[in-house]
Structure 1
Amino acid sequence: MSRTPGRRRTRTAALLALVDGGFTLLGAAAAGWLALLTVQRIASGGLRDWWLVAVLWLLLAYLLLPRLHGLLTRVYVPDYFIGRTRTYEGLLGDPVNAAVLGTTEDLHSAMTRGGWQLADELGFRSGLRTVTSTLARRTYATAPVSPLFLFGRSQDLTYQQEVQGSPARRHHVRFWRTPPGWRLPGGARVDWVAAGTYDRRVGLSAFTLQVTHKIDVDTDAERDHLVATVLAGSPEARVRTLRHFSSGYHSRNGGGDAIRTDGHLPVLDLADVVDEERADPGVPPPDWHGLAAPALALLAAVRDTGASNRDHRPLSLYLGHLLVVLRLLLTAAVGAAGAAAEVIGPERAAPWLPQPAELVPWQSAPAPPLVLLGGAVAAWLAVAAASQLAFAGSSAARLLVLVAALGDVVVLLTATTAGGGGLVPLAATTALVLDLGVLVTLSAGDARDFTLRTRLRTRLRTPGRRPRTPGGAPGGAPEGASGQA
C-alpha cells in the first residue's frame, strides 16, 4: 500500500527535524568546548585579551545556553495549555491574562480605537531598526516584539503603546487565535487569548544572558490597562471576568523577570464593536462577509511590511546567511594577509595587516601556503552560493551549508587543540563563532519549515504537474496537500 503525500511530507519533516536536532546538539557541544578554551585564554592572557570576554558572552548567550534550555525544556516543560506562554527556547514565558470573543476585524478595530498600534513583525529590517532606535533613543512606535509561543506557534497579532517616545518602555500585548473547537479550562469558549505586559527597560535575560526587554512585575496592572483602554475606545464592548481562572502566584518569565498575578481572566466580548468608518445608519447593514477580505488584506499588508519579507522568510534564515557571508569575508581577509606576507615579506607588510600566523589556528606551525588559503576562499565561495540557494528556500542547500559549517568547526577545534595548546587566536576564534552561529541559525525549526513550505509551493506551481489524489490518480487534491489548513 503506497503512502499518502501527507504522510510522506510528515515523515520528511520528522526526519529533517531529527537531522537538525543532531546539528544543534553538536553545535552546542562545540560551543561549550570553545567556551572552555576561551576561559582558559582569558585566565592566561589577562586584560590584554579583553575582547575574549565579548566572545565568551556571545557563545553563552546566543549559542550554548539557548540550545541547552531548548533540549532540557522538551523534557520538563508541559506542551499543553497551562495559562503560560513559552519562549523560543521552551522556557515558560508571560502569563495568559486576557481573552477575546470576536473576529480579526473586531479585535483590530477595538485595539486601534483604544489607542494601540499594530506592531511590526520581527524581520531583518525591523530588527535592525529596533537596535538603532534603542541605541539612539529614537522613537519607534511600531517596534516588533520577540516571539512567544502558544498552541505550538508564535503570536498572530501584537499591539503596543510606546511610553514617552522611548523604545525601551512600552505597553504591549500578544494575541493568539485559538484552535477550532478549543475551550479554556472550565469550558468557556473564546476566539483569542492574550498575554499583556509592560516593558520597563532593556537588560539581559537571567537565563540566557541575551539582550531583552525587562517587564514590570505587576502583570495584572497591564491586564487592567488593556481592558480599560478597549472599553474607553469602544463603550459597546462588554467584559466578564473568570475569577480564579488560575491560582494567584508569584513566578518568573523566560527572561528571569518576576511576575505576580491574582489569576483572574477578563474576557472581552467585541461582537458589537463596529468600525465607525464603515458604519452608516442610512444604508442597510453592511455585508460583513464582504468586508472581511479587505480588512484581512490590510492586516496582512501591515504584517508583511513590518517583516520586510513577502515570503515570510524567518529571521534565523537572514542571520544564517549573513554569518556565512561574514565567514567568507574573514577567509578572504586571511588569504589577503597571506598573499601580502608572501609577496612583500612579513617584515615589510603594512603594520595594520595581520600576519597569517596570527590569523590561523596553527600557532606553533609555519603559516599555511597560499594554495591552502586560496582553496579555503574557494570553498567558502561555494558555501556562500549554497547559502544563497538556502535563503531562496532550498532544503538540500541548507543541509549542505550545515555540513560545511560542522566540518569547519571540527577542523578548527581539532587543529587548535593539537597545535596551539588550547589557545585560540583572534581570527580562529571569530571563525569558530561564525561557524557555530551558522549551525544554530540554519538548523532552527523555522528555517527548516520555510524550506519545506517553499518546496511544497514549488511542486504545486511546476508547469505541467497535474494534481493527484492521495492514491496517485490525477484530479484530486494537490500532491503534498493535507486535509488541514
Structure 2
Amino acid sequence: MNQPGRTTLRPADPQPINRHTMDTEPETNKRKPHGRTKWLTKVIVASLFLWLAVAYLAAPWAWELYIRRHPDLDDQPRITRTSDGHPGDPLNVELIGSEAQLQQIMKAADWYSAAALGLKSDLKIAADTVLSRPDDAAPVSSLYLFGRKEDLAFEQPVGDNPRHRHHVRLWKTDEVNPEGRPKWLGSAVYDKRVGLSHTTGQITHVTAADIDAERDYLFQCLEQTGQLAEHSIEPNFHQQHDGYNGGGDPWHTDGSLYIGVIRATEP
C-alpha cells in the first residue's frame, strides 16, 4: 500500500543480455594484434623479395649495361673482374712453380685450399659465421682473369670466425720461366668482415683497403717455410694506385708486384 506523499519506484524490467555481443567483442579485440602481426609479416616478406630482386638481378644487370657503354673500364688487365663485369681485386703477387709445388708450399705456410662454391659450402660458411665456428676451407667468391675464374684459391683463417681471413686467388698464365716452370698471377686480399656490397647490395665479405699489407703477409708466410728460393719485386706494376673493387670497397697500393720462385724439389 502506498503511503500518502510517497512515490513508489518500480524496478526496471531486466534488459535481455546480448550474449552474442559479449562473446564477439573480446574476440574482435583479440584479432587485432594477430592482424597487425600478419600485416607486418607480409611487409617483411615483400621487402625481402624486393631486396633480392634489386641486389641479385637489377643491380648486376644495370652494372653490366654500364660496362658495355663504357668499354674503357675493361682496359685494366692488372685488375680482376667479377662475374657481372665489376672491377675486382688488383693483382699483387706472382708465384713460379708447378701446381704440386704451389700446393706444397701453401700447406707448409698453413694456408688451406678453399672449398668450391656450392649450396653445401655456402650453407656451411653461413652457419659458421653465425655460430662463430672456424672454417679452414670456407669458399671464396669467384673472380675472373683471362676470361676464367681463379684456378686455385687459398686462405688462412683468423680467430674462430670466417668473417675475417687471409686469402689469395691464383691464375695460371701461359708464361713459363727459363726452367719451363709456369707463372701464376694472384690477388692477395684480407677479408675484415661480412657486409653488404656497396654496388649491388648483395651479402659479401668486406675487404681491407691496404692490399700491400696482405701481399707482404703472404710472402712472410712463404719465406718462413724455407721453400721459397727467390723473392723479387717488380715496381710500378700498377700505374693506378687506388680504386674500388666489385663490392665497392676501397683499395690502395704502392703499385709493386711481389714475385716468388718456389724452390725446385727432386722428382
The two structures have a TM-score, normalised by structure 2, of 0.78
Contact 2:231 2:261 in 1 (8 A): yes
Tell me which amino acid in the other structure corresponds to 2:126. Answer: V
Post-superposition Cα deviations, 1:102-135, rounded to whole Å, max 9, x if no partner, equal 1101111111111111111112211121112112
- Say whether residues 1:194 and 2:186 are aligned partners: yes
Contact 1:99 1:266 in 2 (8 A): yes
Contact 2:143 2:149 in 1 (8 A): yes
Tell me which amino acid in the other structure corresponds to 2:150. Answer: Q
TM superposition outliers: structure 1 runs of 4+ over 4 Å: 45-48, 77-81
What is the alpha-carbon root mean square deviation over aligned residues? 2.2
- Say whether residues 1:64 and 2:55 are aligned partners: no
Contact 2:152 2:171 in 1 (8 A): yes
3-state SS in 1 of match to 2:239: coil
5 Å matches for 1:21-32? none
3-state SS in 2 of match to 1:120: coil
Contact 1:133 1:139 in 2 (8 A): yes
Distance 2:240 2:148 in 1: 26
Contact 1:171 1:197 in 2 (8 A): yes
Q: 1:190 offset after TM fit, Å?
A: 6.1
Q: Which runs of 5+ in 1 are unaligned?
A: 1-44, 184-188, 275-284, 287-485
Tell me which amino acid in the other structure corresponds to 1:205. Answer: S
1:168 corresponds to:
163
Q: 1:236 offset after TM fit, Å?
A: 4.3
Tell me which amino acid in the other structure corresponds to 1:85. Answer: T
Structure 1 residues 239 and 127: alpha-carbon distance in aligned structure 2, compared to 1, 3 A threshold? same
- Say whether residues 1:102 and 2:97 are aligned partners: yes
Distance 2:227 2:138 in 1: 28
Contact 1:110 1:230 in 2 (8 A): yes
Post-superposition Cα deviations, 1:32-71, rounded to whole Å, max 9, x if no partner, equal xxxxxxxxxxxxx999734322121111001111122123
Distance 2:234 2:111 in 1: 24
The structure with the largest helix share of the pair is 1
1:154 corresponds to:
149
5 Å matches for 1:2-401? 49-77=43-71, 78-79=73-74, 82-178=77-173, 180-181=174-175, 191-247=183-239, 249-270=241-262, 272-274=263-265, 285-286=266-267
3-state SS in 2 of match to 1:167: coil
Distance 1:129 1:56 in 2: 25
Contact 2:134 2:161 in 1 (8 A): yes
Q: 1:140 offset after TM fit, Å?
A: 1.1
1:415 corresponds to:
none
Distance 2:76 2:46 in 1: 42
Distance 1:110 1:81 in 2: 30
Who wins on radius of gyration, i.e. which is larger?
A: 2
Distance 2:188 2:156 in 1: 11
Contact 1:97 1:196 in 2 (8 A): yes
Post-superposition Cα deviations, 1:409-451, rounded to whole Å, max 9, x if no partner, equal xxxxxxxxxxxxxxxxxxxxxxxxxxxxxxxxxxxxxxxxxxx
3-state SS in 2 of match to 1:145: coil
Structure 1 residues 181 and 236: alpha-carbon distance in aligned structure 2, compared to 1, 3 A threshold? closer
3-state SS in 1 of match to 2:236: coil
Contact 2:98 2:182 in 1 (8 A): no
Structure 1 residues 68 and 106: alpha-carbon distance in aligned structure 2, compared to 1, 3 A threshold? same
What percent identity do the matched residue pairs reach?
A: 36
Tell me which amino acid in the other structure corresponds to 1:68. Answer: A
Post-superposition Cα deviations, 1:354-379, rounded to whole Å, max 9, x if no partner, equal xxxxxxxxxxxxxxxxxxxxxxxxxx
Distance 2:129 2:175 in 1: 41
Contact 1:245 1:263 in 2 (8 A): yes
